[in-house]
C-alpha cells in the first residue's frame, strides 16, 4: 500500500461524508490486517504486500504432521520478537479515542496482534484469537506465548531469535534449519501445542462468534477498517449488514469486497484517515 501521500480533495470530501454517516450513530468497527501495517506487521493482500515464499499452514496439516508443526514453530520462533515488539499506531489510538467518546461501541478484529487493546480499546472481540497465547489441543491448558518462546529457546540452544523480517501472522519469512528444530509438547498431557488463533481450514469457535454477533448488534453502522474481506470469516458481517440494510462504510487502501455495498468508501491510509475522522467528529485524538 502507499503511505504518506497527502489527501486529495475527493478524499477530504469523503471524510466529511463519513463523519456525517457516523455522527449520532453507534459504530461497530470490523478491523483487519491493514490496521496494523503501520505498526510494522505486514498484511496478506495489500496492493504492494510481499508475496510469501510459502502459504500459511492449514489446521489439518498442523494437527496431522509433526514436520508442519516444526516448520510453523521454527518460523514463529524467529518472527516472535518483532511481532511482540509491535506497538499501536495512530489509527489504533484514534479508534480507542472514538470509543472513549462513545462514538465507537466496539471492535470486531480479525487481527491476532492485540494492538487495539494495547491502544486502549475496551470493547472488542478477537475473531481469530490471539498470538499471545498457546493452547494445548489435548487438555486445553493455556500458556503465554512469551513463556513458550523461552521454552523454545531452551529446547533449541543452537537457534537464536532476534528482530528480523516479519511475515503476516507473526512468523518470519526466513528458512531456518527447520528439520532439526525441537517443539515441546504439553508438559501436562503430552498434547499438541498450537497458537490460540484460528488457522486456515479451522472454524471460529461458536462462543467467539456469538460474542461477535452480540457486539455487531449493538451498532447502527458497520465501519470496515483495513480488510480486503477476501476471507469469509470477516465478510459475514458485511453480508448481514447488507441484508439488513444497516449502513456500512469502508476505509481501506485498495479495493475490498464491501465496496459495492458501502455508503461511503475512503481509499486511504488508516493512520491518516482515522485521526482526521476523530477530529471531524470532534474527538481529541492522541496522534
Identify any residues that bridge with 134 across adjacent strands, giving them in sequence order: 143, 195
Any contact of residue 228 with ligand NAD (CB under 6 A)? yes
3-state secondary structure of 184: coil
| Nearer to ligand NAD (CB atom), residue 107 or residue 229 | 229
Q: Does the footprint of ligand NAD cover residue 37 (CB under 6 A)? A: yes
Q: Of residues 11, 43, 171, 173, which one binds ligand NAD by CB under 6 A?
A: 43
Q: Is 164 among the residues that bind ligand NAD (CB under 6 A)? A: no
The CA distance from 92 to 107, in Å, is: 11
Can you give the C-alpha Rg of the chain in angstroms?
19
Q: Binding of ligand NAD at residue 47 (CB under 6 A)?
A: yes
Query: Which of 186/265 has CB closer to ligand NAD?
Result: 265
Comparing CB distances to ligand NAD, the nearer of 149 and 155 is 149
Q: What ranges make up the beta strands (E) of 137-240?
A: 142-144, 193-197, 221-225
36 near ligand NAD (CB under 6 A): yes
Closest approach, Cβ 79 to ligand NAD, in A, equals 11
3-state secondary structure 213-234: HHHHHCCCEEEEECCCCCCHHH
110 binds ligand NAD (CB under 6 A): yes
The alpha carbon of residue 264 and the mean position of all alpha carbons in its chain are separated, in whole angstroms, by 22
Active site residue 116: no
Report whether 225 contacts 95 (CB < 8 A): yes
Phi, psi for residue 4 in degrees, rounded to 5: 80, 0
Q: Is 133 in the site for ligand NAD (CB under 6 A)?
A: no
Q: Which three cell numbers stand for residue 125?
A: 472481540
Q: How far apart are CA 240 and CA 285, in angstroms?
A: 31
Binding residues for ligand NAD, rule CB under 6 A, total: 33
Specify the residue, 26 or 52, whose C-beta has the smaller distance to ligand NAD.
52
**Which DSSP state fits 245?**
T
The DSSP code for 58 is B
How many angstroms separate the CA atoms of 56 and 62, rounded?
10
Residue 138 CB partners (closer than 8 Å, separation 6+): 186, 189, 190, 191, 192
Residue 252 in the binding site for ligand NAD (CB under 6 A): yes
**What is the nearest approach in angstroms of ligand NAD to the Cβ of residue 161?**
19
Interface residue with ligand NAD among 29, 30, 44, 69 (CB under 6 A) is 44
Chain residue at closest Cβ approach to ligand NAD: 34
41-49, 65-73, 155-163, 176-184 -> range binding ligand NAD (CB under 6 A)? 41-49
Question: Among residues 75, 128, 257, 265, which one is catalytic?
Answer: 128
Residue 250 binds ligand NAD (CB under 6 A): no
Residues 40/93, Cβ–Cβ less than 8 Å: no
Site for ligand NAD in 253-282 (CB under 6 A): 253-254, 269-271
In this complex, which beta carbon is closest to ligand NAD, that of residue 252 or of residue 285? 252
Active site residues: 128
Which residues sit at the interface with ligand NAD, rule CB under 6 A?
Answer: 1, 32-34, 36-38, 41, 43-47, 110-113, 128, 168-169, 226-231, 234, 252-254, 269-271
Amino acid at each position: 500500500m502507499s503511505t504518506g501521500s497527502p489527501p486529495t480533495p475527493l478524499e477530504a470530501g469523503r471524510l466529511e461524508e463519513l463523519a456525517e454517516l457516523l455522527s449520532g450513530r453507534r459504530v461497530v468497527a470490523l478491523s483487519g490486517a491493514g490496521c496494523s501495517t503501520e505498526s510494522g506487521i505486514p498484511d496478506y493482500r495489500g496492493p504492494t504486500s510481499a508475496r510469501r515464499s510459502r502459504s500459511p499452514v492449514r489446521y489439518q496439516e498442523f494437527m496431522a504432521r509433526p514436520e508442519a508443526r516444526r516448520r510453523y514453530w521454527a518460523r514463529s520462533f524467529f518472527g516472535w520478537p518483532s511481532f511482540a515488539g509491535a506497538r499501536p499506531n495512530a489509527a489504533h489510538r484514534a479508534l480507542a479515542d472514538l470509543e472513549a467518546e462513545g462514538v465507537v461501541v466496539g471492535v470486531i478484529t480479525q487481527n491476532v496482534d492485540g494492538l487495539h487493546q494495547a491502544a486502549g480499546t475496551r470493547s472488542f472481540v478477537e475473531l481469530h484469537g490471539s498470538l499471545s497465547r498457546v493452547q494445548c489441543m489435548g487438555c486445553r491448558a493455556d500458556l503465554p506465548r512469551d513463556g513458550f518462546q523461552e521454552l523454545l529457546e531452551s529446547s533449541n540452544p543452537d537457534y537464536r531469535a532476534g528482530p528480523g523480517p516479519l511475515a503476516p501472522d507473526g512468523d518470519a519469512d526466513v528458512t531456518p534449519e527447520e528439520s532439526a528444530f525441537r517443539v515441546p509438547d504439553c508438559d501436562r498431557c503430552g498434547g499438541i501445542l498450537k497458537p490460540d488463533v484460528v488457522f486456515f481450514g479451522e472454524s471460529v469457535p461458536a462462543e467467539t462468534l456469538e460474542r461477535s454477533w452480540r457486539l455487531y448488534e449493538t451498532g447502527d453502522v458497520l465501519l470496515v477498517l483495513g480488510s480486503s474481506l477476501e476471507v469469509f470469516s470477516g465478510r459475514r458481517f458485511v453480508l448481514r449488514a447488507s441484508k439488513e440494510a444497516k449502513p456500512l462504510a469502508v476505509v481501506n487502501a485498495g479495493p475490498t469486497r464491501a465496496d459495492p455495498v458501502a455508503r461511503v468508501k475512503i481509499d486511504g491510509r488508516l493512520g491518516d484517515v482515522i485521526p482526521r475522522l476523530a477530529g471531524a467528529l470532534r474527538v481529541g485524538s492522541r496522534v
